[in-house]
């Protein structure tokens, strides 16, 4: 009986994999058409400094998907001792190469490297991550610009699930330059009424409960609970946190707890977002799962940005 009640109140899950696959199919078809008609393919150059395991996984995924969709890719793997000047020299050489359409410098960089200086050195026309100040400024003005891939993917997710943004109240919890701030800008462009919250926000729950669309991007496992969510709201979970202990898992996961505990026992951790899924299911109308939600959209949007960069640069 209790299990049946849990199922009846479970929020609808927004399938990030389905939307990511749709975007990738569209990119692959356009890439094939442009190669047939004009003899060109987009080229993405990925720069990695050091051998951080997480970064290596992300870079490997980007290179693999590029090949699957028909894009050309280059992997520039540099030693951890690489200096800011050496990295800047590589970026300048990639800027100068006409056949390179997109440049991505995998973050984080070693602490000794001036990250801001490196990102500002990338040609804005090849800045497919959307981190260059020129693209940040254009985005804030509502002009044509490369938007960071995760926020852009969330907009696609909402649109393709027919979630109305125009006139809706949206709340973004997190103010990072990678997700929080560009997310707010993109929601404004969809005519949502947007509030940004952060670690200094007073009475956070009273603010987030006003939101029809709640975006959680704060990097704290399960922080957003039932008290933060308006009944029926759409909750988008950007978090990607490692949960290693059974006690925390029991507090976060409901129907799939047994599976999560098995993963912890086998791998040492399971992934959790910034939203408590067990509590969110009691209140939210729709939510994104972790994994299987927003994360899959980021690489898909990187491919779309790289294709767009080629089309804009070559006036196709």
The set of long-range contacts for 89-95, using a CB threshold of 8 Å and a minimum separation of 24, is 90/47, 91/47, 91/118, 91/121, 91/122, 92/121, 94/45, 94/47, 94/126, 95/121, 95/122, 95/123, 95/126
Same domain, 257 and 121: no
| pLDDT, average across residues 220-239 | 97
Q: Is the pLDDT of residue 302 over 90?
A: yes
Specify whether the CB–CB gap between 215 and 238 falls below 8 A: yes
Q: pLDDT, tens digit, for every residue of 92-122?
A: 999 999 999 999 999 999 999 999 999 999 9
Q: pLDDT tens digits for 260-295?
A: 999 999 999 999 999 999 999 999 999 999 999 999
CATH of the domain at 222: 3.40.50.720
Q: Tell me whether residue 214 is in a domain.
A: yes
Asked whether residue 122 falls in the same domain as residue 219, the answer is: no
Mean pLDDT of the chain: 94
pLDDT of residue 54: 85
> Residue 84 belongs to a domain with what CATH number?
3.40.50.10860
Are 118 and 163 in a shared domain?
no
Q: Give the confidence band of 254 by pLDDT, cuts at 50, 70, 90.
A: confident
Q: Which domain holds residue 100?
A: 38-127
Query: Do both 113 and 179 map to the same domain?
Result: no
Does residue 28 belong to any structural domain of this protein? no
Domain boundary, last residue among 70, 96, 127: 127
Half-sphere exposure of 83 (CA within 13 A, CB side): 3
Catalytic residues, by residue number, are 62, 106, 129
Q: How confident is the model at residue 9 (pLDDT cuts 50, 70, 90)?
A: low
Q: Are residues 118 and 208 in the same domain?
A: no
Q: Which of 63, 95, 127 is the last residue of a domain?
A: 127
Average pLDDT value for residue range 75-90: 97
Residues 190, 203: Cα–Cα separation, whole Å = 27
Mean pLDDT value of segment 184-192: 98
Spatial CA neighbour of 221 closest among 275, 296, 279? 275
Q: Are residues 154 and 191 in the same domain?
A: yes
Which pTM value belongs to this model? Answer: 0.93
Average pLDDT rounded to a whole number, residues 233-254: 92
The pLDDT tens digits of the residues spanning 143-158 come to: 989 999 999 999 999 9
Calpha distance 145→127 (Å, rounded): 9
Determine what percent of the chain is predicted with pLDDT higher than 70.
97
Q: Is the pLDDT of residue 5 over 70?
A: no
Q: What is the count of structural domains for the chain?
A: 2
| 2 has pLDDT over 60 | no
Residue 4 has pLDDT above 50, yes or no: no
Note whether residue 169 is domain-resident. yes
For the chain, where are the alpha helices, taking DSSP H only?
A: 2-8, 16-38, 53-69, 84-96, 115-121, 133-140, 149-160, 180-189, 204-208, 246-252, 257-267, 277-283, 295-313
Contact criterion met (CB below 8 Å) for 62 and 44: yes
Question: Do both 289 and 165 map to the same domain?
Answer: yes
């Amino acid at each position: 009986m209790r299990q049946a009640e849990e199922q009846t109140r479970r929020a609808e899950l927004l399938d990030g994999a389905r939307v990511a696959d749709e975007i990738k199919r569209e990119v692959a078809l356009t890439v094939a058409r442009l190669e047939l008609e004009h003899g060109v393919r987009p080229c993405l150059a990925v720069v990695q400094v050091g051998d951080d395991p997480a970064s290596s996984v992300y870079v490997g995924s980007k290179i693999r998907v590029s090949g699957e969709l028909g894009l050309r890719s280059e992997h520039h793997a540099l030693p951890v001792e690489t200096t800011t000047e050496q990295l800047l020299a590589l970026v300048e050489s990639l800027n100068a190469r006409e056949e390179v359409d997109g440049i991505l410098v995998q973050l984080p960089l070693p602490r000794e490297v001036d990250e801001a200086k490196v990102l500002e050195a990338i040609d804005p026309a090849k800045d497919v991550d959307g981190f260059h100040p020129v693209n940040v400024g254009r985005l804030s003005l509502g002009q044509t610009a490369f938007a960071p891939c995760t926020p852009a993917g969330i907009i696609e997710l909402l649109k393709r699930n027919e979630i109305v943004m125009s006139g809706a109240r949206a709340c973004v919890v997190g103010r990072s330059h990678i997700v929080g701030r560009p997310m707010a800008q993109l929601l404004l462009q969809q005519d949502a009424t947007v509030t940004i919250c952060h670690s200094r926000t007073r009475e956070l729950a009273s603010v987030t409960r006003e939101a029809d669309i709640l975006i959680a991007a704060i990097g704290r496992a399960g922080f957003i609970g039932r008290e933060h969510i308006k009944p029926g709201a759409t909750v988008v979970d950007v978090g990607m946190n490692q949960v290693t202990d059974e006690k925390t898992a029991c507090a976060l996961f409901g129907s799939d707890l047994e599976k999560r505990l098995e993963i912890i026992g086998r791998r040492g951790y399971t992934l959790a977002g910034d939203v408590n899924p067990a509590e969110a299911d009691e209140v939210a109308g729709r939510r994104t799962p972790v994994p299987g939600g927003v994360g899959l959209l980021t690489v898909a949007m990187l491919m779309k940005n790289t294709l767009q960069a080629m089309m804009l640069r070559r006036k196709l």
